[in-house]
Amino acid sequence: MTYSPIPNPQKGYLLFDDGTKFEGVVFSEGDACQAEVVFNTALLGYSEVLTDPSYQGQVVVFSAPMIGTYGWNREDMQSPRITVSGVIVNEYSDAPYSLAKVLKENAVLGIEQIDCRKLIKYIRERGCIKGIITTQPNGVYNIIHSTEKKSPNTKVLKLENDSATYHLGVLDFGIKSSILTELKKRKCRFSILPWDITLDQLKELKIDGIVLSNGPDDPRDYMDSIPHLNTILETYPSLGICLGHQLIALALGATIEKLPFGHHGTNQPVLDLNTEKIIISSQNHNYTIAKDSIENLPIKATHLNLIDNSIAGIAHHSLPIISVQFHPEAAPGTSDAKEIFNKFITLL
């Protein structure tokens, strides 16, 4: 497949509040926006990345030198729509049923011919900060550095499975479809629930366990939910993934810190402290558990990220609670970490 230059290309820009400007060419027309800018180191799996609810409201910069070569496969989507606010690549390659077509359908601006290596070095030096992706370089912009947590679902969605043994309540902060797929393979059916559901409401559903899903936000913005989350964890076997992992840690008394530029990609090496094996994991988050904050708590670290030695998994000493910072279903990524689902089934 050969790269076809876009005729009469329109200029596109990424602007930061210190005056730094990156200039490229638009390959997908979309809305200008301001959003947190993060980089992803995956070589494949852009369909999964761009539909992952954990990237809600972010501009994603791909470190892979070329994006778009294999088009778009709806079966790879992790949610019904594109969730990112903007896409930046070094070189875009068009294909039948192309990435550009899907981005344009979702009004997501895509820019290519940007020096992504230089841009990623800039992010690593300054941290994950907000920028503006636009086609107008000379406008007057006010980059607002604020956070607002995702609103909860307002209804219960039941997903049946004729071969199910277990009924799981999924607290939905932005669940990926591949997580449900892996649990369905292990004879689970689901009730997808608003994250602020009460213990009494859970008991009415007669569930066997809880899954706290991944999601896009700062877990500290959910502190008002922590008291009732504590009672849920004391009542049900629980699995936390990504944001859900951080919320479990908060509910059990740990402290959460923001990483300088987060972990976003499919090549994060993680040490399993129980088996002393190393797995290659898929991760997408900007926050982590402060290591010294769990020293006097009834939880222990089960996994460490070998890039920065941050906590990548925890377990409760006596309650059936496990959680991981990485995405055990991958999507995209390797299948190294799927054993986490089996461990959770054992707890059930």
Phi, psi of 281 (to 5 degrees): -120, 160
Exposed/middle/buried for 25, CB within 10 Å: 0-12, 13-18, 19+? Answer: middle
Same domain, 96 and 218: no
Q: What are phi and psi of 219, to 5 degrees?
A: -60, -25
Q: What is the pLDDT of residue 142?
A: 55
Confidence band of 131 (pLDDT split at 50, 70, 90)? very high
Higher pLDDT, 23 or 261: 23
Q: Examine residue 3 and state whether it is found in any structural domain, yes or no.
A: no
Task: Say which range, 238-247, 296-305, 327-336, has the weakest mean pLDDT.
Answer: 327-336
Cα–Cα distance measured from residue 93 to residue 237, given in angstroms and rounded to the nearest whole number: 46
Q: Is 114 in the same domain as 213?
A: no
Considering 74, 100, 134, which residue would you say is the last residue of a domain?
134
**pLDDT > 50? residue 146:** no
- Band (127; pLDDT cuts 50, 70, 90): confident
Same domain, 271 and 122: no
Predicted local distance difference test score (pLDDT) of residue 154:
64
* Sheet of 299-305, strands arranged across: 157-159, 188-193, 166-171, 209-212, 238-241, 321-324, 311-316, 299-305, 256-272, 278-289
pTM: 0.88
Q: Report how far Cα 187 is from the mean position of its chain's Cα atoms.
A: 25
- Domain region containing 118: 11-134
Q: Are 190 and 116 within one domain?
A: no
264 inside domain: yes
Whether the per-residue pLDDT at 77 is higher than 90: the answer is: yes
Q: Do 130 and 178 belong together in one domain? A: no
Same domain, 121 and 188: no
Are 269 and 164 in the same domain? yes
Phi first, then psi: give them for residue 271, nearest 5 degrees.
-95, 125
The reply to whether 40 falls in a domain is: yes
Q: Which residues are catalytic, by number?
A: 242, 327, 329
Answer whether residue 219 is part of any domain: yes
Looking at residue 65, which CATH number applies to its domain? 3.50.30.20
One domain, residues 119 and 242? no
Residue 143 lies in a domain: no
Average pLDDT on 109-116 reads: 96
Distance from chain centroid for Cα 18:
27
Reply yes or no on whether the pLDDT at 3 is more than 70: no
Structurally, the chain folds into a number of domains equal to: 2
Query: Which CATH number goes with the domain that contains 279?
Result: 3.40.50.880
Tell me how crowded residue 238 is: count the other CB atoms within 10 A of its CB. Answer: 26
113 and 185 co-located in one domain: no
